[in-house]
C-alpha cells in the first residue's frame, strides 16, 4: 500500500522498512518486493547482488516469480554474495534441488543446483552442468554445461572432470580438434590418477584399448585393473587373464 500509494499517502521509504520486516519474518512477498526495489533502484541505490539475494530468499520460501527473477539474474552473471553474513544455506539448497529433481520438476531443481553451486558445493555445479547438457528444465546450452563442469572439476569433484573430458573427446557438443582431444585425455588422467575416479580410469582403459598405437594399447590393462580396484565392475570384466 505504501509502495503504490493505494489507500494511503505513498511512502516508499516506509514501504522498504515494511518489506524488510516482512522478509525477516519469512514472508516471501516481502522478500520479492524488496528484491525488486533493489533491482529497479527505487529509493534504494540499485544493487543487483542484493536484489538476487532477496529474490532468491523469496524463491526459497516458495515464491515462483522470485525463482524466475533469481534465474534471470544468475544468467546475467550476478554474483551470490551473502548480505550481512546471512547467505543461503548450502545444504538446504542441495536438498531442495534433489527433491525437485526426483519429483521431475527440473526447472526448479536447476535453480537450486545453481544456487548451491554458487555457494561452493561443487557436486551441484556438475549436476547443473548435466542439466544444461541434456536440456532438463532449460534449453540445451553446451557452453553453460562446459563452464559448470569446469567449475566442478576445479573444485575437485572428479565426475565434473570426467564429464568435461567426455564433451571434449566426443566431438558431438564441442568442435573437436587435436587440442580439445588432448585436453580430454589430460582431464581423464588427472581424474583417474589424482581423484581415483573409477569411471575416468575405465574410460582411459577403453580409449587405450582401441588406440592404434601399441604402447597405448598396453596401458589399457593398467587402467582396467585400477578402475576395477576402485569398484567399477565393468572394468573387472575387461581384465585379461593371460
- C-alpha cell, 231: 569398484
pLDDT at 25: 86
Q: Say if 16 falls within a structural domain.
A: yes
pLDDT in tens, 108-120: 899 989 989 988 8
Check: pTM over 0.85? Answer yes or no.
no
Give residue 71's domain range: 1-79
Kindly state whether residue 234 falls inside one of the protein's structural domains.
Answer: no
Is 229 a domain residue? no
- Residue 229 to residues 79, 195, 222, 225, 233, Cα–Cα distance (Å): 41, 14, 11, 6, 9
Is 171 domain-assigned?
Answer: no
Of 225 and 240, more confident: 225
Q: Is 89 contained in some domain? A: no
First to last CA, the chain: 82
- Residue 191: inside a domain: no
Residue with cell 566431438: 171
Structure confidence at residue 208 as a pLDDT band (50, 70, 90): confident
Residue 101, pLDDT > 60, answer: yes
Does residue 49 belong to any structural domain of this protein? yes
Lookup: cell for 78: 550476478
pLDDT tens digits, residue range 114-160?
A: 989 988 899 999 999 999 999 999 999 999 999 999 999 999 999 99
Residue 225 falls inside a structural domain: no
Measured from the Cβ of residue 218, the count of other Cβ atoms closer than 10 Å reads 12
The CATH number for 33's domain is 1.25.40.10
Number of domains observed in the structure of the chain: 1
| CB atoms near residue 170 (< 10 Å) | 13
Q: What pLDDT does 81 receive?
A: 57
Amino acid at each position: 500500500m505504501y509502495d503504490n500509494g493505494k489507500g494511503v499517502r505513498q511512502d516508499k521509504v516506509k514501504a522498504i522498512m515494511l518489506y524488510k520486516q516482512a522478509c525477516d519474518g519469512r514472508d516471501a512477498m516481502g522478500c520479492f518486493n524488496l528484491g525488486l526495489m533493489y533491482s529497479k533502484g527505487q529509493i534504494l541505490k540499485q544493487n543487483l547482488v542484493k536484489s538476487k539475494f532477496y529474490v532468491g530468499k523469496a524463491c526459497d520460501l516458495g515464491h515462483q516469480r522470485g525463482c524466475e527473477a533469481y534465474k534471470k539474474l544468475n544468467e546475467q552473471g550476478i554474483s551470490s554474495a551473502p548480505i550481512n553474513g546471512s547467505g543461503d544455506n548450502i545444504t538446504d539448497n542441495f536438498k531442495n534441488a534433489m527433491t525437485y529433481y526426483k519429483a521431475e520438476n527440473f526447472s526448479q531443481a536447476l535453480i537450486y543446483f545453481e544456487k548451491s553451486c554458487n555457494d561452493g558445493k561443487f557436486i551441484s555445479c556438475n549436476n547443473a552442468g548435466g542439466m544444461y547438457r541434456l536440456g532438463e528444465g532449460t534449453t540445451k546450452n553446451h557452453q553453460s554445461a562446459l563452464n559448470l563442469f569446469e567449475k566442478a572439476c576445479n573444485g575437485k569433484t572428479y565426475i565434473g572432470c570426467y564429464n568435461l573430458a567426455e564433451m571434449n573427446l566426443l566431438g558431438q557438443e564441442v568442435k573437436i580438434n587435436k587440442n580439445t582431444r588432448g585436453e580430454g585425455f589430460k582431464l581423464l588422467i588427472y581424474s583417474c590418477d589424482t581423484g581415483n575416479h573409477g569411471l575416468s580410469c575405465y574410460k582411459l582403459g577403453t580409449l587405450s584399448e582401441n588406440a592404434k598405437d601399441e604402447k597405448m594399447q598396453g596401458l589399457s590393462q593398467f587402467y582396467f585393473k585400477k578402475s576395477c580396484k576402485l569398484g567399477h565392475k565393468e572394468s573387472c570384466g575387461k581384465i585379461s587373464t593371460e
